[in-house]
Amino acid sequence: MSAFYALLFTVAFLVLVIGLTKKIIQYSRVPAPLKIPVTPAPLSKGGVAVRLAKEAILFAALFRSNKWTWLFGWMFHMSLFIVLLNHLRFFIKDVPLPLVLLQNVGEYAAFTMFIGLAGLLIRRLFVARVKYISAPSDYLWLILLMVIALTGIVMRFVSHTDIVAVKEFSLGLLRLNWQALPTDFPLMVHLFLVAVLMILLPFSKLLHIPGLFFAPTRNQVDNPREERHIAPWAAELDAEKNKVQPK
Ligand code: HEM
Ligand code: HEM
Protein backbone atom coordinates (compact mmCIF):
# COMPACT_ATOMS: atom_id res chain seq x y z
CA MET A 1 0.00 0.00 0.00
CA SER A 2 2.81 2.43 0.91
CA ALA A 3 4.55 1.70 -2.40
CA PHE A 4 1.30 2.32 -4.30
CA TYR A 5 0.86 5.71 -2.64
CA ALA A 6 4.51 6.64 -3.09
CA LEU A 7 4.26 5.83 -6.80
CA LEU A 8 0.92 7.62 -7.09
CA PHE A 9 2.35 10.79 -5.55
CA THR A 10 5.48 10.69 -7.69
CA VAL A 11 3.31 10.45 -10.82
CA ALA A 12 0.89 13.11 -9.52
CA PHE A 13 3.74 15.49 -8.77
CA LEU A 14 5.25 15.05 -12.25
CA VAL A 15 1.89 15.50 -13.99
CA LEU A 16 1.21 18.63 -11.93
CA VAL A 17 4.58 20.28 -12.52
CA ILE A 18 5.00 19.35 -16.20
CA GLY A 19 1.31 19.96 -17.03
CA LEU A 20 1.22 23.33 -15.31
CA THR A 21 4.51 24.46 -16.89
CA LYS A 22 3.25 23.53 -20.36
CA LYS A 23 0.01 25.42 -19.79
CA ILE A 24 1.81 28.51 -18.51
CA ILE A 25 4.08 28.51 -21.57
CA GLN A 26 1.02 28.11 -23.80
CA TYR A 27 -0.82 30.94 -22.04
CA SER A 28 2.19 33.23 -22.33
CA ARG A 29 2.24 32.70 -26.11
CA VAL A 30 -1.44 33.27 -26.84
CA PRO A 31 -1.68 36.47 -28.86
CA ALA A 32 -3.63 39.36 -27.37
CA PRO A 33 -4.42 41.31 -30.53
CA LEU A 34 -6.71 43.85 -28.94
CA LYS A 35 -6.39 46.48 -26.26
CA ILE A 36 -9.18 45.39 -23.93
CA PRO A 37 -8.54 46.23 -20.26
CA VAL A 38 -11.81 46.49 -18.35
CA THR A 39 -12.00 50.16 -17.40
CA PRO A 40 -11.47 52.01 -15.14
CA ALA A 41 -8.05 50.42 -15.58
CA PRO A 42 -4.58 51.35 -14.30
CA LEU A 43 -2.47 53.73 -16.39
CA SER A 44 0.89 52.18 -15.49
CA LYS A 45 2.54 48.76 -15.11
CA GLY A 46 2.78 49.27 -11.34
CA GLY A 47 -0.94 49.93 -11.30
CA VAL A 48 -1.56 46.67 -13.16
CA ALA A 49 0.48 44.79 -10.53
CA VAL A 50 -1.70 46.30 -7.80
CA ARG A 51 -4.84 45.42 -9.74
CA LEU A 52 -3.78 41.78 -10.19
CA ALA A 53 -2.80 41.53 -6.52
CA LYS A 54 -6.23 42.86 -5.52
CA GLU A 55 -7.86 40.26 -7.75
CA ALA A 56 -5.76 37.39 -6.41
CA ILE A 57 -5.98 38.32 -2.73
CA LEU A 58 -9.37 40.04 -2.38
CA PHE A 59 -11.25 38.76 -5.47
CA ALA A 60 -12.14 42.41 -6.19
CA ALA A 61 -14.09 41.84 -9.42
CA LEU A 62 -16.13 39.04 -7.87
CA PHE A 63 -16.94 41.32 -4.93
CA ARG A 64 -18.44 43.88 -7.30
CA SER A 65 -20.32 41.22 -9.16
CA ASN A 66 -21.96 39.09 -6.44
CA LYS A 67 -21.63 39.43 -2.67
CA TRP A 68 -22.77 35.90 -1.71
CA THR A 69 -20.50 34.17 -4.22
CA TRP A 70 -17.69 36.42 -3.08
CA LEU A 71 -18.31 35.62 0.58
CA PHE A 72 -18.26 31.85 0.20
CA GLY A 73 -15.62 31.83 -2.55
CA TRP A 74 -13.25 34.09 -0.65
CA MET A 75 -13.84 32.19 2.59
CA PHE A 76 -13.00 28.90 0.90
CA HIS A 77 -9.87 30.16 -0.88
CA MET A 78 -8.38 31.99 2.12
CA SER A 79 -9.01 29.00 4.38
CA LEU A 80 -7.45 26.70 1.79
CA PHE A 81 -4.43 28.96 1.73
CA ILE A 82 -4.02 28.72 5.52
CA VAL A 83 -4.59 24.94 5.44
CA LEU A 84 -1.91 24.54 2.76
CA LEU A 85 0.55 26.73 4.72
CA ASN A 86 -0.16 24.51 7.70
CA HIS A 87 0.57 21.40 5.64
CA LEU A 88 4.10 22.64 4.96
CA ARG A 89 4.97 21.08 8.32
CA PHE A 90 4.76 17.68 6.64
CA PHE A 91 7.41 18.67 4.10
CA ILE A 92 9.89 20.75 6.16
CA LYS A 93 12.09 18.96 8.67
CA ASP A 94 12.46 21.78 11.20
CA VAL A 95 9.26 23.79 11.11
CA PRO A 96 9.95 27.57 11.49
CA LEU A 97 8.24 29.46 14.34
CA PRO A 98 5.68 31.40 12.23
CA LEU A 99 4.35 28.09 10.90
CA VAL A 100 4.21 26.64 14.41
CA LEU A 101 2.19 29.65 15.57
CA LEU A 102 -0.17 29.27 12.63
CA GLN A 103 -1.17 25.76 13.71
CA ASN A 104 -3.94 26.96 16.03
CA VAL A 105 -5.52 29.19 13.39
CA GLY A 106 -5.34 26.23 11.06
CA GLU A 107 -7.85 24.31 13.13
CA TYR A 108 -10.52 26.88 12.34
CA ALA A 109 -9.47 27.21 8.71
CA ALA A 110 -10.53 23.61 8.07
CA PHE A 111 -14.08 24.48 9.11
CA THR A 112 -14.34 27.79 7.25
CA MET A 113 -12.99 25.99 4.17
CA PHE A 114 -15.78 23.44 4.44
CA ILE A 115 -18.47 26.08 5.04
CA GLY A 116 -17.24 28.09 2.02
CA LEU A 117 -17.41 25.00 -0.19
CA ALA A 118 -20.86 24.09 1.12
CA GLY A 119 -22.08 27.61 0.30
CA LEU A 120 -20.70 27.36 -3.24
CA LEU A 121 -22.35 23.95 -3.69
CA ILE A 122 -25.72 25.21 -2.45
CA ARG A 123 -25.41 28.13 -4.89
CA ARG A 124 -24.87 25.73 -7.80
CA LEU A 125 -27.78 23.53 -6.70
CA PHE A 126 -30.37 26.18 -5.90
CA VAL A 127 -29.68 29.35 -7.91
CA ALA A 128 -31.50 28.47 -11.14
CA ARG A 129 -29.35 30.67 -13.36
CA VAL A 130 -26.14 29.14 -12.01
CA LYS A 131 -27.52 25.60 -12.07
CA TYR A 132 -28.34 26.01 -15.77
CA ILE A 133 -24.68 26.63 -16.66
CA SER A 134 -23.17 24.11 -14.20
CA ALA A 135 -21.43 21.05 -15.68
CA PRO A 136 -20.95 17.80 -13.71
CA SER A 137 -17.31 18.72 -13.17
CA ASP A 138 -18.35 21.94 -11.40
CA TYR A 139 -20.14 19.88 -8.75
CA LEU A 140 -17.45 17.20 -8.64
CA TRP A 141 -14.68 19.69 -7.82
CA LEU A 142 -16.65 21.08 -4.91
CA ILE A 143 -17.49 17.58 -3.63
CA LEU A 144 -13.88 16.40 -4.02
CA LEU A 145 -12.60 19.38 -2.02
CA MET A 146 -15.29 18.87 0.62
CA VAL A 147 -14.32 15.21 1.10
CA ILE A 148 -10.62 16.19 1.35
CA ALA A 149 -11.52 18.77 4.01
CA LEU A 150 -13.82 16.37 5.86
CA THR A 151 -11.27 13.54 6.02
CA GLY A 152 -8.72 16.12 7.20
CA ILE A 153 -11.07 17.28 9.95
CA VAL A 154 -11.72 13.64 10.95
CA MET A 155 -7.97 13.02 11.26
CA ARG A 156 -7.41 16.15 13.25
CA PHE A 157 -10.35 15.97 15.65
CA VAL A 158 -11.88 12.48 15.66
CA SER A 159 -9.65 9.57 14.79
CA HIS A 160 -6.04 10.72 14.78
CA THR A 161 -3.54 9.40 12.31
CA ASP A 162 0.17 8.90 13.06
CA ILE A 163 1.32 12.32 11.81
CA VAL A 164 4.96 11.57 12.61
CA ALA A 165 4.79 8.63 10.21
CA VAL A 166 2.98 10.80 7.62
CA LYS A 167 5.82 13.31 7.85
CA GLU A 168 8.42 10.55 7.41
CA PHE A 169 6.50 9.42 4.34
CA SER A 170 6.32 12.92 2.79
CA LEU A 171 9.97 13.68 3.49
CA GLY A 172 10.85 10.23 2.08
CA LEU A 173 9.00 11.13 -1.14
CA LEU A 174 11.05 14.32 -1.51
CA ARG A 175 14.32 12.48 -0.90
CA LEU A 176 13.37 9.55 -3.14
CA ASN A 177 13.72 7.28 -0.11
CA TRP A 178 10.25 5.73 0.24
CA GLN A 179 8.94 5.21 3.78
CA ALA A 180 5.95 3.31 5.18
CA LEU A 181 2.60 5.12 5.38
CA PRO A 182 -0.07 4.52 8.06
CA THR A 183 -3.06 2.79 6.48
CA ASP A 184 -6.05 4.20 8.34
CA PHE A 185 -9.10 4.82 6.19
CA PRO A 186 -9.43 8.65 6.43
CA LEU A 187 -5.77 9.12 5.51
CA MET A 188 -6.06 6.75 2.54
CA VAL A 189 -9.09 8.65 1.21
CA HIS A 190 -7.50 12.07 1.95
CA LEU A 191 -4.30 11.26 0.11
CA PHE A 192 -5.97 9.47 -2.80
CA LEU A 193 -8.20 12.49 -3.49
CA VAL A 194 -5.28 14.90 -3.12
CA ALA A 195 -3.43 12.88 -5.79
CA VAL A 196 -6.52 12.99 -8.04
CA LEU A 197 -6.63 16.78 -7.56
CA MET A 198 -2.95 17.15 -8.48
CA ILE A 199 -3.33 14.99 -11.61
CA LEU A 200 -6.48 16.74 -12.88
CA LEU A 201 -5.43 20.30 -12.07
CA PRO A 202 -3.52 21.00 -15.33
CA PHE A 203 -6.51 19.81 -17.39
CA SER A 204 -9.34 21.51 -15.55
CA LYS A 205 -10.99 24.73 -14.42
CA LEU A 206 -8.40 24.88 -11.64
CA LEU A 207 -6.20 26.45 -14.32
CA HIS A 208 -7.81 29.70 -13.19
CA ILE A 209 -4.87 29.84 -10.76
CA PRO A 210 -2.27 30.79 -13.40
CA GLY A 211 -4.97 31.94 -15.84
CA LEU A 212 -5.92 34.98 -13.80
CA PHE A 213 -2.54 36.55 -14.45
CA PHE A 214 -2.83 36.14 -18.22
CA ALA A 215 -6.30 37.69 -18.63
CA PRO A 216 -5.92 40.60 -21.10
CA THR A 217 -8.94 42.34 -19.58
CA ARG A 218 -7.04 42.56 -16.29
CA ASN A 219 -3.33 42.65 -17.14
CA GLN A 220 -3.26 45.43 -19.73
CA VAL A 221 -2.30 49.05 -19.11
CA ASP A 222 -4.93 51.58 -20.19
CA ASN A 223 -2.75 53.56 -22.64
CA PRO A 224 -4.18 53.08 -26.16
CA ARG A 225 -3.74 56.76 -27.04
CA GLU A 226 -0.19 57.08 -25.80
CA GLU A 227 1.08 53.88 -27.40
CA ARG A 228 -0.12 51.99 -30.43
CA HIS A 229 -1.06 48.47 -29.32
CA ILE A 230 0.22 45.86 -31.74
CA ALA A 231 0.51 42.16 -30.85
CA PRO A 232 4.04 40.72 -31.39
CA TRP A 233 2.88 38.33 -34.12
CA ALA A 234 1.07 41.13 -35.93
CA ALA A 235 4.21 43.27 -35.74
CA GLU A 236 6.15 40.44 -37.38
CA LEU A 237 3.57 40.14 -40.17
CA ASP A 238 3.68 43.88 -40.66
CA ALA A 239 7.46 43.89 -41.02
CA GLU A 240 7.26 40.92 -43.40
CA LYS A 241 4.70 42.68 -45.62
CA ASN A 242 6.78 45.81 -45.75
CA LYS A 243 9.78 43.76 -46.85
CA VAL A 244 7.92 42.16 -49.78
CA GLN A 245 6.20 45.32 -50.94
CA PRO A 246 8.47 48.22 -50.10
CA LYS A 247 6.68 51.53 -50.30
C1 HEM B 1 -4.14 32.47 -6.96
C2 HEM B 1 -4.98 31.58 -6.49
C3 HEM B 1 -6.48 31.57 -6.75
C4 HEM B 1 -7.32 32.59 -7.10
C5 HEM B 1 -7.00 34.07 -7.29
C6 HEM B 1 -8.65 32.01 -7.26
C7 HEM B 1 -9.78 32.74 -7.60
C8 HEM B 1 -11.04 32.22 -7.83
C9 HEM B 1 -12.20 32.98 -8.19
C10 HEM B 1 -12.26 34.52 -8.35
C11 HEM B 1 -13.22 32.10 -8.38
C12 HEM B 1 -14.58 32.47 -8.93
C13 HEM B 1 -15.79 32.27 -8.21
C14 HEM B 1 -16.96 32.50 -9.18
O15 HEM B 1 -16.95 33.51 -9.92
O16 HEM B 1 -17.86 31.66 -9.22
C17 HEM B 1 -12.71 30.76 -8.11
C18 HEM B 1 -13.45 29.60 -8.18
C19 HEM B 1 -12.97 28.35 -7.77
N20 HEM B 1 -11.72 28.05 -7.31
FE21 HEM B 1 -10.16 29.35 -7.16
N22 HEM B 1 -8.60 30.67 -7.02
C23 HEM B 1 -7.28 30.35 -6.69
C24 HEM B 1 -6.81 29.11 -6.33
C25 HEM B 1 -7.57 27.95 -6.21
C26 HEM B 1 -7.10 26.67 -5.72
C27 HEM B 1 -5.65 26.36 -5.26
C28 HEM B 1 -8.17 25.80 -5.75
C29 HEM B 1 -8.29 24.34 -5.37
C30 HEM B 1 -7.34 23.51 -5.15
C31 HEM B 1 -9.32 26.54 -6.27
C32 HEM B 1 -10.58 26.01 -6.47
C33 HEM B 1 -11.67 26.70 -6.98
C34 HEM B 1 -12.97 26.09 -7.26
C35 HEM B 1 -13.36 24.64 -7.06
C36 HEM B 1 -13.79 27.13 -7.75
C37 HEM B 1 -15.24 27.02 -8.21
C38 HEM B 1 -16.20 27.40 -7.15
C39 HEM B 1 -17.63 27.42 -7.67
O40 HEM B 1 -18.30 26.39 -7.64
O41 HEM B 1 -18.09 28.47 -8.14
N42 HEM B 1 -8.92 27.84 -6.53
N43 HEM B 1 -11.39 30.87 -7.78
C1 HEM C 1 0.46 15.27 0.13
C2 HEM C 1 -0.36 16.14 0.59
C3 HEM C 1 -1.13 16.02 1.91
C4 HEM C 1 -0.87 15.28 3.04
C5 HEM C 1 0.31 14.34 3.30
C6 HEM C 1 -1.94 15.55 3.98
C7 HEM C 1 -2.07 14.99 5.26
C8 HEM C 1 -2.91 15.42 6.24
C9 HEM C 1 -2.94 14.95 7.60
C10 HEM C 1 -2.01 13.88 8.16
C11 HEM C 1 -3.89 15.66 8.28
C12 HEM C 1 -4.25 15.53 9.77
C13 HEM C 1 -3.48 16.58 10.53
C14 HEM C 1 -3.50 16.41 12.01
O15 HEM C 1 -3.98 15.39 12.52
O16 HEM C 1 -2.99 17.32 12.69
C17 HEM C 1 -4.50 16.58 7.33
C18 HEM C 1 -5.50 17.48 7.64
C19 HEM C 1 -6.14 18.26 6.71
N20 HEM C 1 -5.89 18.33 5.35
FE21 HEM C 1 -4.39 17.38 4.40
N22 HEM C 1 -2.82 16.44 3.42
C23 HEM C 1 -2.35 16.75 2.15
C24 HEM C 1 -2.93 17.64 1.25
C25 HEM C 1 -4.08 18.38 1.48
C26 HEM C 1 -4.72 19.26 0.52
C27 HEM C 1 -4.21 19.53 -0.92
C28 HEM C 1 -5.81 19.80 1.14
C29 HEM C 1 -6.84 20.76 0.60
C30 HEM C 1 -7.28 20.78 -0.63
C31 HEM C 1 -5.87 19.26 2.49
C32 HEM C 1 -6.82 19.59 3.46
C33 HEM C 1 -6.77 19.23 4.79
C34 HEM C 1 -7.63 19.77 5.83
C35 HEM C 1 -8.73 20.82 5.63
C36 HEM C 1 -7.24 19.17 7.05
C37 HEM C 1 -7.83 19.41 8.46
C38 HEM C 1 -7.22 20.63 9.13
C39 HEM C 1 -5.74 20.60 9.31
O40 HEM C 1 -5.22 19.71 9.95
O41 HEM C 1 -5.09 21.50 8.73
N42 HEM C 1 -4.80 18.39 2.65
N43 HEM C 1 -3.88 16.42 6.08
Residue span of the structural domain in which 193 resides? 39-244
Name the closest-CA residue to atom 10, ligand 1.
Answer: 59
Instruction: Say which ligand is closest to the CA of 163.
Output: 2
Residue 137 lies in a domain: yes
Q: How far is CA 12 from CA 21, 168, 185, 186, 195, in A?
A: 14, 19, 20, 20, 6
Residue 148 lies in a domain: yes
- Best residue among 209, 218, 219 to mutate for probing ligand 1's pocket (most ligand atoms within 8 Å of CB) is 209
Instruction: Say which ligand is closest to the CA of 124.
Output: 1
Q: How many domains does the chain have?
A: 1
Half-sphere exposure of 77 (CA within 13 A, CB side): 15
Instruction: Please give the chain's pLDDT, 247 residues, in tens.
Output: 889 999 999 999 999 999 999 999 999 998 888 999 999 999 999 999 999 999 999 999 999 999 999 999 999 999 999 999 999 999 999 999 999 988 887 889 999 999 999 999 999 999 999 999 999 999 999 999 999 999 999 999 999 999 999 999 999 999 999 999 999 999 999 999 999 999 999 999 999 999 999 999 999 999 999 988 887 777 888 777 777 555 4
The number of the ligand 1 atom at minimal distance from the alpha carbon of 124 is 40
| End-to-end CA separation in angstroms for the chain | 72
Residue 31 lies in a domain: no
Q: What is the pTM of this model?
A: 0.92
87 CA to centre of ligand 2 in angstroms: 6
Q: Give the contacts of 247 (CB within 8 A, at least 6 positions apart).
A: none
Axis crossing angle, helix 67-87 with helix 136-153, rounded to the nearest 10: 50
Residue 238 lies in a domain: yes
The CATH number of whichever domain residue 236 belongs to comes to 1.20.950.20
Residue 234 lies in a domain: yes
Residue 63 lies in a domain: yes
Instruction: Say which ligand is closest to the CA of 20.
Output: 1
Residue type, 178: W
Residue 147 lies in a domain: yes
208 CA to centre of ligand 1 in angstroms: 7
Round to whole Å and give the CA distance between 194 and 105.
22
> Does 87 contact ligand 2 (Cβ within 6 A)?
yes
Residue 10 lies in a domain: no
